Copies of this chain bind each other. A is one copy, B any other.
Amino acid sequence: MRIGELSERTGTSRRLLRYYEEQGLIIASRGANGYRDYDEATVDRVIQVRGLLDAGLPTRIIKQILPCLDKPRAIYFPDATPEMLATLEEERDRMARRAECLLRNRDAISEYLDAVREYNRV
C-alpha cells in the first residue's frame, strides 16, 4: 500500500508518516519508482504509535519499547543489555504513574460533572 492509503486508513498526514519513518517507528520498502510501499501490519503499528504519542511518550521512547510490543516477538530476544532493561523498567513505571495521574484526574472531573448536573437538576 502506498502512503496515501496508509494516511487515510490511519487518519495520519503523509508528512507525519514520513516523519515516523525518519524516527525509525515504521519501515517502508520502496518501489522501483521510489514510492514507499507499506504492508498491511503497518496500519496497526501506526495506530499504536499514535496512541503512545497521544499518551505523551516521545518518539525516542516509543522506538525503544516498540520491539517489546510486537505480537509474535517470541523467538529472538534482541541483545537486551541490562541498561536497556533498566530503561524499560523505568519507562514502564513512568507510564504507570502517568496513567494513575490521568485516572485520578478523570475521576475528579467526573465527580465535578456529576455535581454540576445534580445542581442544575434542582
Interface residues of A (CB under 8 A from B): 51-52, 54-56, 65, 68-69, 73, 77, 80, 85, 88-89, 91-92, 95-99, 101-103, 105-106, 108-113, 115-116, 119
Number of copies: 2
- Would you list 29 pairs from A and B whose C-beta atoms are within 8 A, ordered by A residue? A51-B101, A52-B105, A55-B56, A55-B102, A56-B98, A68-B111, A68-B112, A69-B109, A73-B112, A77-B115, A77-B119, A85-B116, A88-B112, A88-B113, A91-B109, A92-B106, A92-B109, A95-B102, A95-B105, A95-B106, A95-B109, A96-B102, A96-B103, A96-B106, A98-B99, A98-B102, A99-B102, A99-B106, A102-B102
Quick check: A108 and B69 within 8 Å, CB to CB? yes
Query: Which residues from B are CB-within-8-Å of A101?
Result: 51-52, 54-55
Determine the distance from Cα of A99 to Cα of B92 in the docked complex, in whole angstroms: 13
Among A51, A109, A110, find the residue whose CB has the most chain B CB atoms closer than 10 A. A109
